[in-house]
Structure 1
Amino acid sequence: MILEDFLYFDSNGLYCKYGNFYVDPVKPVQTAVISHAHADHAIPGNNEVYCTEATSLFMKQRYGKNAAKFFNLAGYGKPFMAGGVQITFIPAGHILGSAQILMEYEGVRYLYTGDYKLQADATCEPLEWVKTDVLITESTFANPAVLHPDPVEEIKKLNDVKINILLGAYGLGKSQRLINLITHYAPQKTIMIHHSIMPLNAVYQKMGIDIGKYQLYSRKLMKEQKEYVYIVPPFTFESYYRAVGVKRLFASGWKNLQVNQNDTLFISDHADWNDILQTVEKTEPKQVWTLHGDGNYLRKHFGNRIFVKILN
């Protein structure tokens, strides 16, 4: 029997009382199961953390000694117990080390996707499908109007830009994916990266991921016009709003983060509407629970066919 209170939000985040742990808590807790290392899912200060190895390395790099008191590392497909709940990490395809969290209790399977994507990405483990009774899906782009284009075709747009490019991107996951895509599909470009991204790239290297060709930013080189692409995190991108002699682009699935309608780079690391529908088809849930977005479109789409519960 599906337990309607198996997961619910309290002041610390998403709680599983049957295992006495939180999933991606928003405040430090005693026991946290972390899906991936982005800051809105992996905060510092938890006592005990269950996660993948890559997630632990990113957290340690970003938070130092405050990352967590204890890390319990689990490989993909290797079940472990947290309280009375059996947990298995399943690749989510979002960033390196990202995991869907399969929770099994009293014969019922609850699959928390975390952030996930179906698009190919050579810099992280590809998403894997598992059957579940309850699909707990992020709904960041759960809107029929949101359909993300082919990322390769988006990157190929850069071949038409003959001046230097200031490319805004999130430092973890998106930047490494962009380096890889540009290396392969706009090979004449020279990629330079902001110093804050270098330690994150080092984790990829430690985990055996070749993300592509890049070098540390040089102000002297950027003054030349040799089709450089300078990848910077959002705060730096915003500080260069008056930059001249460069094409400003921001790589994102969000329309409001595009610089203008003529210069767009729609590359998302989240599932779009069609991807979410495919995920429901592949996982075959009896119920769909949504969070991290608007679940109303999914509720309307499935009607009486599948029960949709909106957690947030």
Structure 2
Amino acid sequence: MILDDFVAFDANGLYCRYGDFYLDPKQSAEHAVISHAHGDHAVPGNHNVYCTAPTADFMKLRYAKNAGKNFNLYSYHQTFNIGGVNISFISAGHILGSAQVLMEYRGVTYLYTGDYKLQPNPTCQPLEFVKADVLITESTFANPNTIHPNPTEEIGKLNHIKTNILLGAYGLGKAQRIIRLINDHVPHKKVLVHFRIAPLNAIYEKHGINLGNYQLYNRKLMKNQDEYVYIVPPFTFDSYYRATGVTRLFASGWKNLQVNEKDTLYISDHADWNDVLQTVEQVAPQQLWTLHGDGSHLKKHFGDNLITQALV
């Protein structure tokens, strides 16, 4: 029997009362199952952290001694138990080390997707579909009007930009994907990275991910040639709002983050409407629970064919 209260939000985040653990808690917790290392999913200070090895490396780089007291590392499909709930990580395709969390309790399976992506990305493991009785999906872009473009076509837009490019991108996940896309599809562009992105790249390479060619930013280089793409994190990008002699772009799936009316770069690391529908089809759940976005479109789409509710 599906437990309607198997997971629920409290002041600390998404809590499983039956196993006494949190999924991506918003504040430090005794037992924290972390889907991936982005800051809105992986906070510092947890006592017991359960995650993949890359996620642990990113958290330790970002939070140093406050990353967490005890790290329990698991590979994909390796089963562990917290408070009587059997748990395993399934690749989510979002960033390196990202995982869906498959939970089994009293013969019922619950799949928490975390953030996930179906588009191909050579800088992380692809999303894997598994069956579950309940699918707990992010619905960040679960809107019929949201269909993400082909990332290869988007990165190809750089071909017609002849100036140096200042490219804003989130330092973890997005930046590495962009580096590889440039190397694969616009290889005449030379990639420079901000010094805060370089240590994240090193973790990718430690785990066997080939990003392609790039080098640390050097102001002199950009003065000598107009084929450089300088990738910077958001805080640096914002500080360069008066930059001249460059084309400013921000790589994102959010339209409001596009900063150049002429040139846009819509590259998302989340599932769009069609991706969510495909995921539901593949997982074949009896119930669909939504979070991190507006689940009303999914509820309307499935109607009486699938029990759909938003976790609040």
1:88 alignment partner in structure 2: 88
Aligned partner of residue 104 in structure 1, secondary structure: strand
The 2-side partners of 1:305 and 1:145 are apart by 22
How far residue 167 of structure 1 moved from its aligned partner, in angstroms, is 0.3
Q: Distance in 2 between matches of 1:269 and 1:245?
A: 29
Aligned twin of 1:16: 16
Determine the C-alpha separation between the residues in 1 that align with 2:70 and 2:91.
23
Letter in structure 1 aligned against 2:110: Y
State the one-letter code of the partner of 1:147: I
Q: For residues 105-254 of structure 1, what are the structure 2 equivalents within 5 Å?
A: 105-254=105-254
Q: Distance in 1 between matches of 2:127 and 2:274?
A: 15
What is the match of residue 60 of structure 2?
60
* Secondary structure class of the residue paired with 2:231: strand
Partner SS, residue 3 of structure 1: coil
**Aligned mates of 2:260, 2:150 — CA distance in 1:** 19
Paired AA for residue 307 in structure 1:
I
Q: Secondary structure at the match of 2:197?
A: helix
What SS does structure 1 have at the residue aligned with 2:42? coil
| Alpha-carbon distance between aligned partners in 1 of 2:152 and 2:134, rounded to the nearest angstrom | 33
CA contact (8 A) 2:164 2:246 kept: yes
**Deviation by residue 1:69-94 (Cα, 9 ceiling, x = unmatched):** 00000100111101110001000000
1:277 counterpart = 2:284: no
Query: 2:287 is matched by which residue type in structure 1?
Result: Q
Give the paired residue count: 312
Q: CA deviation at 1:103?
A: 0.3
Q: Distance in 2 between matches of 1:287 and 1:252?
A: 31
Alpha-carbon displacement from aligned partner over 1:12-39 (angstroms, at most 9, x marks no partner): 1000011100000000010000000000
Post-superposition offset of 1:205:
1.1
Which aligned runs of 4 or more in structure 1 are off by greater than 3 angstroms?
A: none
Matched to 2:141, the amino acid is F
1:76 equivalent in structure 2: 76
Task: Return the alpha-carbon distance in structure 2 between the equivalents of residues 192 and 303 of structure 1.
Answer: 49
Correspondence for 1:310: 310
Distance in 2, Cα, partners of 1:140 & 1:241 = 28
- TM-aligned CA deviation for residue 121 of structure 1: 0.3
Q: Distance in 1 between matches of 2:120 and 2:265?
A: 17
TM (norm. structure 1) is 0.99
Q: What corresponds to 2:296 in structure 1?
A: 296
Q: Secondary structure at the match of 2:224?
A: coil
**CA–CA separation in structure 2 for the residues paired with 1:260 and 1:242:** 13
Partner of 1:255 in structure 2?
A: 255
Partner of 1:37: 37
Query: Equivalent residue of 1:196, what SS?
Result: coil
Percent of residue pairs bearing the same amino acid type: 68
Q: State how far apart, in whole Å, the 1-side matches of 2:260 and 2:292 are.
A: 26
Which amino acid in the other structure matches residue 148 of structure 2? H
Are the counterparts in 1 of residues 248 and 260 from structure 2 also a CA contact under 8 Å? Answer: no
Match of 1:102 in 2: 102
1:208 CA displacement: 1.0
* Residue 262 of structure 1: how far off its partner (Å): 2.2
Name the Cα RMSD after superposition.
Answer: 0.6
Residue type of the partner of 2:15? Y
**Aligned with 2:41: secondary structure?**
coil
Measure the CA separation in 1 of the matches of 2:82 and 2:213: 41
> Secondary structure of the equivalent of 2:184?
helix
Give CA deviations for 1:40-59 in whole Å, capped at 9, x if unaligned: 00000000000000000000
Deviations along 1:205-253, whole A, 9 cap, x unmatched? 1111111110000011122333100000001111111111101000000
Cα distance in 2 for residues equivalent to 1:97 and 1:211? 15
**Partner of 2:196: helix, strand, or coil?**
helix
CA distance in 2, matches of 1:297, 1:264: 27
Whichever residue aligns with residue 300 of structure 1, its letter is K
Q: Distance in 2 between matches of 1:296 and 1:31?
A: 31
Q: Which amino acid aligns with 1:230?
A: Y
Encode CA deviations 1:98-131: one digit per residue, 9 max, x unaligned: 0000000001000000000000000000000000
Unaligned runs of 5+ in 2: none
CA distance in 1, matches of 2:37, 2:306: 31
Aligned equivalents of 1:280 and 1:266: distance in 2? 24
Deviations 1:248-304 (A, max 9, x none): 000000000011332110000000000000000000001110001000110111100
Q: Letter of the 2:131 partner, please give it.
A: K
CA distance in 2, matches of 1:186, 1:270: 23
Mapped to 2, the partners of 1:225 and 1:108 lie a distance apart of 59
Amino acid at match of 1:231: I
